[in-house]
Amino acid sequence: MGKIEKIGNLLLWGLQGFLIFLLIFQSSFALPMAGIGHLHPLILHLPIGFGVLLVALFAIKKQLASFEVLAEFLLLITAIFSTLTAIFGLFLAKEGGYETSALDWHQWSGVAVSFVYFSWVLLRKNLFLGATLGFITLVIAGHTGASITHGEDYLRFGEKATEITSESVVFEDIVQPILKAKCESCHNDQKSKGALKMNSIANLMKGGKHGAIWKAGDALNSHLVQRIKLPMNTKEHMPPLGKAQLTPDEITILTLWVKEGASFEKKLGQFSPAFQKLVQPTELTISTKSYDFSAASESTIESVNSPYCTVYPIANESPALQADFYVAAKFDPKTLSNLSQVSEQLVGLQLSKMPIKNEDLNLVSKFTHLEKLNLNFTAIDDAGIGQLAGLNHLVQLSLAGTKVGKSGVAKLLAKLPALKEIHVWSTRLSAGDLSALGKQFPKVTFDAGYIPKEETLQINPPILVNENLILKPGEKLMFKHTLRDVLFRYTLNDSLPDSLQSPSTKGSIAIANYAKVRILATKDGWRASKPIDVRVYKSQFIPSRIDLLSKPDPKYPAAGGASLMDFVIGAREVKGVPNFTWLGFKEADLDVVATFEKSTSIHGVTLSYLEKTDSDVFPPVKVEVWGGETPGQMRLITTAKPIQPKEKSGYSARGINIPIAGIHAKYYRIKAERLKRLPTFVDNKGKGAWLRVDELLFY
């Protein structure tokens, strides 16, 4: 006997002694190191493996030179590990939660395994008998152990994989198998954690130490549902961490089963569609339609493609082709006739909005495999569509926005055996025609399009076209609208326009002088739009130059007199950015002379100014217009007083028209007097106001 064997024998004797000691005194004192029992499931597979190997060794006995040595050594190891397993098992049993009778069986069969191997280590005779006997006790101990952890009938093979139908009893065929697989290993007759057994209807109804585990119909308040839905890391989560977990679908099945009454008898067909779909999920299928024609060559497909006609296979390795035409302005009939090269392969053709005429349909009719044809908004009618007869595969035909009528459609449909869907809105078909056709062709769906409800919607406001609101001589104020046949109504006197009475225009308004235009859009069948306001300035006569006689404030010099006739509208100020669109006066009044090339008769003068009282910018208090044929001979023609604001206000650019009658002059001098004492409603009351002017226009 070698050294190793000696040590092994000693160890075995020691372990056996300890095991017998444990067996005798196990009930009389509590075991320390309770956790060591958890090594039992880890180690128990070793003696099983060794025991099997020991038996198997006899099969190749003759081929082995030193069979005896090998077999005896293996026997020793098996004995050691079976004894260790039995010891750990006793520790584990001490932790409790196991049904006693099952545990007893397992305990004694396990101990028997270790005794059998130990005895033969001592005997050293009749090895084959020992190995076989050991193996048999191993099988018994293994099975009794597995019955505790996996449930008593875990070994029942060939259980019919029940096919789920709507006749299946849900509890029996769907719910119970889940409980069996995921819950019963800890909740059975042998092992009932939390005093709960889940292995029969009666036990389930009885519940555990917290009472009933569900409230039929109320999943949220059911103990079972609450516990399985708790987060994984909470102690109460079921099944416990480390055990096989319920899948999301299984959780849902249990939840819905409780929610839908927790019945033991109800059949699947009586459950909600949601539940039925869950247990009978739809399979993902990719239906591939096969075609009996062969594919066109790549070069052919390339040759029928153009920037405005895309021809492509409907899927990888499919011979079927789709052709789409785009950009009506670039439609080329040759591109369409080119498609005859792939007439066999075309299954889809999109020609909507293309300039297609009746005679082009002759070509289309040659594409005999067409399934989907879009001819929306093309110039075809009853005289042409007859040619499409014979498209025996056509399923969907779109003819919206064409001039087809009842007789043409009826004749065609009789010859399109596969047709399922036709789009015919905005055609000559009346509602009556449609219902007659519907009766004649019950298999075809007629899409009559959207039929607007009886409601009157408000149209959107006019859109201003002019980019510059200082109109030059001959220029008009222009409005447009995104809808056709819109009539605009407007006022120039600051009153709200009336959608029926006020002056109307289709877009252009002749403007005589500065005006605030209020305008709205109207259209039959719509409510009038909200009005929009536009302040527009008008120049009828342009002087050759304007010269300043007084000095503007250095902060707002603009470009001197020229900026009064630059046709650039005053811009709002941005802090830190110099503004050259406004000519500003603080210490002096405005005094300018406009010089015309020759003596000009005008109807008035418009001075545009800024009103922004919160920044001390006020209208001029008085504007004088002087005129004369020479600079020295001017006389006062008229005086105007702009309306002064009565309260604090923000930015408002506006103008004042000053009419003049029957005057000829080459020189016009305009003096605008600034407000000297700010009114009490502004912060700087009593100080002088700013005067800011933008344009000086003559009409």
Give every CB contact of residue 379 below 8 A, 6+ residues apart in sequence: 355, 356, 357, 358, 402, 403
From 135-143, 320-328, 498-506, 576-584, span contacting other proteins (CB under 8 A) = 320-328
Q: Is 426 in the site for other proteins (CB under 8 A)?
A: yes
> Which position among 421, 494, 614, 629 is part of the footprint of other proteins (CB under 8 A)?
421
Q: Is 459 in the site for other proteins (CB under 8 A)?
A: yes
Decide if 674 contacts 690 (C-beta within 8 A).
Answer: yes
Beta bridge partners, 313, equal: 321
From 26-34, 283-291, 493-501, 625-633, span contacting other proteins (CB under 8 A) = 283-291
Q: Is 644 in the site for other proteins (CB under 8 A)?
A: no
Q: Is 483 in the site for other proteins (CB under 8 A)?
A: yes
Total number of residues that touch other proteins (CB under 8 A): 66
Nearer to other proteins, 219 or 548 (CB): 219
Q: Is 418 in the site for other proteins (CB under 8 A)?
A: no
In the block, tokens 């109109």 appear at 471
From residue 470, give the alpha-carbon distance in Å to each of 233, 473, 476, 547. 75, 10, 10, 20
> Which position among 460, 466, 595, 644 is part of the footprint of other proteins (CB under 8 A)?
460
Q: Is 278 in the site for other proteins (CB under 8 A)?
A: yes
From 101-109, 117-125, 445-453, 573-581, span contacting other proteins (CB under 8 A) = 445-453
Nearer to other proteins, 443 or 646 (CB): 443
| Per-residue H/E/C for 163-179 | CCCCCCEHHHHHHHHHH
> Which position among 108, 308, 541, 596 is part of the footprint of other proteins (CB under 8 A)?
308
CB of 409 to other proteins, least distance (A): 15
**Closest by Cα among 595, 556, 628, 576 to 698:** 595
List alpha helices for 286-430, DSSP H: 298-304, 333-338, 361-364, 382-385, 406-413
Say which DSSP state 209 is in. T
Structural element, H or E, at residue 140? helix 127-150
Cα distance between residue 110 and residue 22, in whole Å = 14
Structural element, H or E, at residue 622? strand 622-628
Q: Is 329 in the site for other proteins (CB under 8 A)?
A: yes
Nearer to other proteins, 431 or 577 (CB): 431
Q: Is 396 in the site for other proteins (CB under 8 A)?
A: yes
Nearer to other proteins, 484 or 646 (CB): 484
Interaction residues for other proteins, span 205-264 (CB under 8 A) = 220, 226, 229-231, 233, 248, 252, 255-256
Cα distance between residue 167 and residue 617, in whole Å = 88
Q: Is 525 in the site for other proteins (CB under 8 A)?
A: yes
Dihedral sign for Cα atoms in the order 149, 155, 161, 162:
negative
Structure tokens at 446: 């007629």
Q: Is 458 in the site for other proteins (CB under 8 A)?
A: yes
Give every CB contact of residue 91 below 8 A, 6+ residues apart in sequence: 31, 33, 34, 36, 37, 40
Q: Is 450 in the site for other proteins (CB under 8 A)?
A: yes
Cα distance between residue 617 and residue 336, in whole Å = 69
Decide if 77 contacts 50 (C-beta within 8 A).
Answer: yes
Q: Is 332 in the site for other proteins (CB under 8 A)?
A: no
CB of 285 to other proteins, least distance (A): 7
> Which position among 32, 242, 307, 554 is part of the footprint of other proteins (CB under 8 A)?
307
Q: Is 512 in the site for other proteins (CB under 8 A)?
A: no
From 110-118, 261-269, 306-314, 552-560, span contacting other proteins (CB under 8 A) = 306-314
Cα distance between residue 606 and residue 620, in whole Å = 13
- Between β-strands 463-464 and 445-447, what pairing exists: parallel, antiparallel or unpaired? unpaired
> Under DSSP, is residue 319 helix (H, G, I), strand (E, B) or coil?
coil
> Which position among 282, 495, 501, 630 is part of the footprint of other proteins (CB under 8 A)?
282
From 452-460, 539-547, 592-600, 623-631, span contacting other proteins (CB under 8 A) = 452-460
CB of 284 to other proteins, least distance (A): 4
List alpha helices for 416-459, DSSP H: 431-440
List alpha helices for 151-247, DSSP H: 170, 176-182, 201-206, 223-229
Interface with other proteins (CB under 8 A): 220, 226, 229-231, 233, 248, 252, 255-256, 274, 277-278, 281-289, 302, 307-308, 310, 312-316, 318, 324, 326-330, 352-353, 372, 374, 376, 396, 398, 400, 421, 423, 425-426, 447, 449-452, 457-460, 463, 481-484, 525-526
